[in-house]
Amino acid sequence: MSTEDIARGEQIFRSGKYAPAPGADLLDAVRGWYERFIVADAEDLDILALWTVHTHLAAECYSTPRLQLDSAMPGSGKTTVCEHLTRLARNATHFASLSSTALLVRILQEGIATLLIDEVDRTLDSGKDGVKDLIAVLNSGYKIGATRPVLVPAKGGEWRVEKMPTFAPVVLSGNSPHLPDDTRSRCIRILLMPDLDGRAKDSDWEEIEPDAKALQDRIAAWADPVREQVATVQVQLQPDCTGRAREKWRPLKRIATVAGGDWPAKCDKLIGRGLAEDEADRQDSLHSMPPAMLLMHDLRQVWPDSPLETFLGSKELVNRLISYNRENWSQFSHYGKRLTETRLGKMISQVAKVHSQRDDRRGPRGYYRVDMERAWNKLGIKENA
C-alpha cells in the first residue's frame, strides 16, 4: 500500500497538481514509509507519522513535543530515522553533535526549523561546558513565541539585546540517554529495535530520494490549506491528560483530529499508553525521591478522601505512615530510625511551608486537611499516584 501511495504522490508532484489527499490517507502513507525502513512497535510508527506531519504545522499546534529516539543498543536505526526525518519533516537540520546555543537560535532566526540532535547521551552530558544553556534553549522552545535574549553587535562598537526565537520541533536521539527531568517530561519516547531478521529495507538514497521528496511535498500540500483548521480545532483528551502531558500530546491530537479516519482513535490509544508510561516512570522515581517529597506522597495516600477527615494529629499521621510504608518510616527504615512527630513537622515545613497547629486549645498538634490539599496541589501529588 505504501509503495503505491508514494507513487501517486510522486505523480501528483510531477504533474504540478497539488490537490491534497485526505489527511488519513497521508498519515497512512507516512507511517507505511517508516515501516519499510525501521523496526519499531506499531504504536511508535503511528507516533512517527503524526510527529512528522505536525512539524509542518508546528506554529498552528502552539506547542511541540520533543521526540526522543531511544534504543538499548547501537545499530537500532536511530540515525536512519533522523535521515528520513531530514527529508520528510519541515526544514530539518541534522546535528551529529551540538554544543552551541548561539548556532541554534541563529538557525531559528530564519523561521521554524526541525532540529535533529544525534548522540544526545554525549551532547547533553551535564558535565560539559555550556550544556545547561543548551538544555534551557531546548526546554524553552516547546511553546510558540518562546525567545532567548542574546547580545548582538551594534553600531559604534556597542552591544544590544535581541530576542532570538527558540520555538522548534526537536528530535533527541541516543542510546538510553539520561535526560534531565524537565526535558524528559516534554518528550514522547520511541523505542527502536535492532533489525535481527533483516526485515527493514536499506535506505538507499540514490534510489528513494525522489520518493521521499514526493512524500514531503505531499505533506506540505496537505498542510497548507488546513492551517486555520488545525489552529482552531477543539480536541478531546482524557481527563487525566493534564499539565505537561496535555501540552505534549495535544499537538498530535490536533493533527489526528483534522486528518480524520481512524487516526483520532489511534492517537487516544497512544495518549493512554504514554500516560501509563509516565506513571510507571514516576513510581520508579519515588525510590530516589528526597525524603520530604516521599513523605508528602505517602501522606496523600494515608489521608483518604472518604471519609473526609478535616484534621489529623501528628502522632496519628506518624502511625499511619509507618503502617503504610514501613520500609521508609519504621525503625527498620533505610534512614536507620523511626519517624517522629518532630521530624514529620520539619520535613513538611521544608517541602511545603505548612506548620502544625492545634485543632483546639487543649488538643494535640496536627494538620488541617485544607492546608495539605494546597500543598499536594502545588506539588502535583494525587491520591494513589
Mark whether 265 and 313 lie in a shared domain. no
Q: What is the DSSP string of 100-159?
A: -HHHHHHHHHTS--EEEE--HHHHT-TTSTTHHHHHHHHHHTTBTT-EEEEEEE-GGG-E
Confidence grade of residue 15 (pLDDT, cut at 50, 70, 90): very low
The answer to whether residue 34 is domain-embedded is yes
* Cell digits of residue 222: 496537505
**Cβ neighbours around 366 below 10 Å, total:** 19
How does pLDDT run across 330-366, given as a tens digit for each residue? Answer: 887 766 789 999 999 999 998 888 999 988 777 889 9
226 and 323 fall within a common domain: no
Please check the confidence at residue 385 and state whether its pLDDT lies above 80. Answer: no
- Which of 286, 314, 344 terminates a domain? The answer is 286
180 and 308 fall within a common domain: no
- Number of domains the chain is built from: 2
Same domain assignment for residues 224 and 178: yes
Residue-wise DSSP of 30-64: HHHHHHHH--B-HHHHHHHHHHHHHHTTHHHHSB-
For residues 30 and 174, state if they share a domain.
yes
| Domain C-terminal end among 264, 286, 308 | 286
In a domain, 279, yes or no: yes
CA dist., res. 130 & res. 103, Å (int): 12
Same domain, 267 and 177: yes
Mean pLDDT of the chain: 84
CATH code of the domain containing 37: 3.40.50.300
pTM above 0.85, yes or no: no
- Whether residues 19 and 106 share a domain: the answer is yes
CA-based torsion, 122, 125, 129, 135: positive or negative: positive
Examine the domain organization and report whether 343 and 234 are in the same domain: no
Regarding predicted confidence, which is higher, 202 or 178?
Answer: 202
* Domain span holding position 318: 291-379
* pLDDT, tens only, 227-245: 999 999 999 999 889 888 9
Longest dimension (CA), the chain: 88
Select from 286, 319, 337 the last residue of a domain. Answer: 286
Task: Tell whether 385 is covered by a domain.
Answer: no
Ranges of H-type helices in 287-353: 291-302, 314-324, 326-329, 341-352
Residue written as cell 540515525? 79
Rounded to a whole number of angstroms, the CA Rg of the chain reads 25
366 and 261 housed in the same domain = no
